[in-house]
Amino acid sequence: MKIVALAGGVGGAKLADGLAQLLLPENLTIIVNTGDDFEHLGLYISPDLDTVCYTLGGLANTDTGWGRREETFHVLENLQKLGGPDWFRLGDRDLATHIERTRRIQEGQPLNQITRAFCRAWGIDYSILPMSDQSVRTMVETTEDGELAFQEYFVHRKCEPKVKGFHFAGIENAQPAPGVLEALEQADAVVICPSNPWVSIDPILAVAGLWSVLAAKPVVAVSPIIGGQAIKGPAAKMCIELGILPSALAVAHHYGKILSGFVLDRVDTNLAQNITIPTWITDTLMKNKDDRRRLAQGVLNLIEIL
């Protein structure tokens, strides 16, 4: 079965890893959000692409989910001593990725080509594609501080500013990266991984042409929201400020008619009765590689019966 997975950062990368444990490289393509990308310290940084690549390459920091494992921060410590910004934790091994990506971009290489070269270097056989080679930037509109770049809001300001909306700057000029539409057209089904729908998956769906191809495919989403009404951490606060009740039901409604199937956590069983499409209820928290594979297997089983 040929699968395309749509993924944002940590949660998305984990399910993508589960799918990679079950599917051969020719049967799994991962399309990744690039709306979180930004320039920092003169470097082009692509957090979600790196998180997915590091995870599938076995290089990810398993505590945070992002950045590299066995990491050190000597550069950042010394940069901070010089008065440089150290709020975005860039480790020594991770910096090589950003320096080399920036060098290639300045040579004119497109993001999809750079990502393919990095995957080869990291021994990753799977196709990991940026949603677009053109710049898309998730901008957060705040009540007190105007418009903030996503990482500035999410990491530097720890989601404290009150959000009144956000938009994807550059989306109108963003074309699907080479291979994206082809993978979607050839797919037997599409899996929307458990990333934040509003901030990490929506930028992917907003890229020209993707929605219409998706609408013609079986699509299964896994809720990133576990535990009834609210999720932990800043994403819940952002949703609530946007007037979105962060629940598995809100996720299903958000994806609406493109969804053919939905996976939600046992603790949200009571919500399943309000969902009209086929659902699978299970433990969706992925604490280890076995959890990732088990959840991925369940998603594939659900797709089989659609």
Q: Is 151 in the site for ligand FO1 (CB under 6 A)?
A: yes
Amino acid in the structure at residue 36: D
CA nearest 268: which of 233, 300, 213, 231?
A: 231
Contact between 229 and 246 (Cβ < 8 Å): yes
In degrees and rounded to multiples of 5, residue 152 shows phi and psi of -60, -45
Q: Is 8 in the site for ligand FO1 (CB under 6 A)?
A: yes
- The kind and range of the H/E element at 48 are helix 47-56
Q: Measured from the CB atom, is 48 or 202 closer to ligand FO1? A: 48
Q: Is 48 in the site for ligand FO1 (CB under 6 A)?
A: yes
Q: Is 90 in the site for ligand FO1 (CB under 6 A)?
A: yes
Q: Is 19 in the site for ligand FO1 (CB under 6 A)?
A: no
Q: Is 55 in the site for ligand FO1 (CB under 6 A)?
A: no
Amino acid in the structure at residue 89: R
**Which CA distances in Å does 42 have to 39, 53, 139, 157?**
6, 22, 19, 20
Strands (E), the chain: 3-7, 28-32, 38-40, 43-45, 127-130, 137-142, 146-149, 163-169, 189-192, 219-222, 261-265, 279-282
Q: Write out the DSSP string of 126-153.
A: SEEEESBSS--EEEEEETTTEEEEHHII
153 to 182, contacts with ligand FO1 by CB under 6 A?
A: 154-155
Minimum distance of ligand FO1 from residue 240's CB (angstroms) = 18
Q: Is 35 in the site for ligand FO1 (CB under 6 A)?
A: no
Helix (H, G, I), strand (E, B) or coil at 55: helix
Q: Of residues 17, 36, 265, 268, which one binds ligand FO1 by CB under 6 A?
A: 36
Please identify the residue of the shown chain whose CB is closest to the bound ligand FO1.
9
Interface segment toward ligand FO1; rule CB under 6 A; list 6-14, 140-148, 249-257, 270-278: 6-14
Q: Measured from the CB atom, is 51 or 279 closer to ligand FO1? A: 51
Interface segment toward ligand FO1; rule CB under 6 A; list 150-158, 171-179, 255-263, 270-278: 150-158
Q: Measured from the CB atom, is 54 or 255 closer to ligand FO1? A: 54
Interface segment toward ligand FO1; rule CB under 6 A; list 3-11, 126-134, 168-176, 274-282: 3-11
Q: Is 38 in the site for ligand FO1 (CB under 6 A)?
A: no
Strand partners, 149: 139
Which residues, in sequence order, are CB contacts of 113 under 8 Å at separation 6+? 104
Q: Of residues 71, 73, 79, 89, which one binds ligand FO1 by CB under 6 A?
A: 89
C-alpha Rg value of the chain to the nearest Å:
18
Minimum distance of ligand FO1 from residue 52's CB (angstroms) = 10
Helix (H, G, I), strand (E, B) or coil at 171: helix
Q: Of residues 34, 51, 61, 247, which one binds ligand FO1 by CB under 6 A?
A: 51
In degrees and rounded to multiples of 5, residue 191 shows phi and psi of -110, 125
- The kind and range of the H/E element at 78 are helix 74-81
Q: Of residues 29, 55, 127, 200, which one binds ligand FO1 by CB under 6 A?
A: 200
Q: Measured from the CB atom, is 51 or 132 closer to ligand FO1? A: 51
Minimum distance of ligand FO1 from residue 290's CB (angstroms) = 23
Minimum distance of ligand FO1 from residue 210's CB (angstroms) = 19
Give the binding site for ligand FO1 (CB under 6 A).
8-10, 36, 47-48, 50-51, 66-67, 88-90, 94, 151, 154-155, 200
